[in-house]
Amino acid sequence: MDTLQLTLPTKLRAFIDAEAAARGHTSAHDYLVAVLKEAQRKRAWEIAEKLGLEGMQTPARPLTEDDWAQLHARIHQMASADDGKS
């Protein structure tokens, strides 16, 4: 796991502490991790939606063995990244 140090204005730190408490987090750290994970999930969904829409605009064709292998590799990569390593 990596460490990131931030210098925040006092008012922003107070806001983060208040949000953490209001949302049931035990610390500002836990709150920020939750906020960033949610942003990461939202971005992944945006990418998936974009790719899905692009896919719907291309002609349909049967999936090949290579297509399936690539799909499985991408799913495995995404699952591995979400196993607490992110």
pLDDT tens figures, 10-42: 999 999 999 999 999 999 999 999 999 999 999
> Any residues with CB less than 8 A from the CB of 78 and at least 6 apart, and which?
44
Residue 80 scores a pLDDT above 90: no
Residue 31's nearest CA partner among 14, 7, 55, 53 is 14
Q: Is 73 exposed, middle or buried (0-12, 13-18, 19+ CB in 10 A)?
A: exposed
84: pLDDT confidence band, cut at 50, 70 and 90?
Answer: low
pLDDT at site 32: 97
Helix, strand, coil shares of the chain as percentages rounded to 5?
70, 0, 30
86: pLDDT confidence band, cut at 50, 70 and 90?
Answer: very low
Q: CA-CA distance, 45 to 25, in Å (whole number)?
A: 25
